[in-house]
Amino acid sequence: MPEGLFLVKNLYKGNLVFYWVNNKGKKVSPLASNQAEAEDWWKSYMFSQYENAERRQVVKDRRSLHSTREIVQSRKGQSAISRGRRITDQPISVDIDLFQKKLDEETSDL
């Protein structure tokens, strides 16, 4: 769970949407048409909340491009570099999935 925000997958006006809510269930982001768009908003939001001097020039972690990076082996044979050190470098996932329930409700009314 990224810093008290939860990713919601929902059905809105017949479309699949994603958005972030806080601990109280209040929507804190605009509607996104896909998960990648919701992730981009979240990363920008998290960077805007950082109060110290930022060293990164870009929000996206370049190491996340697995196809273009070499896997560096440590002495124990494990990757010496992970998917990133910051919370924004980790992949996100849907926390609250309301989509299927609402889709079932809409189709049962037909």
pLDDT band for position 41 (cuts 50, 70, 90): very high
- Whole-structure pTM value: 0.69
**Cα–Cα distance, 36 to 42 (Å, whole number):** 10
Q: 19 and 25 in contact (C-beta within 8 Å)?
A: no
Span 50-109, pLDDT tens digits? 777 666 555 555 555 554 444 444 444 555 455 566 777 788 999 999 999 998 888 887
Residue 79 is predicted with a pLDDT of 52
Lowest model confidence (mean pLDDT) among 5-14, 43-52, 76-85: 76-85
Residue 104 is predicted with a pLDDT of 87
**Cα–Cα distance, 17 to 9 (Å, whole number):** 6
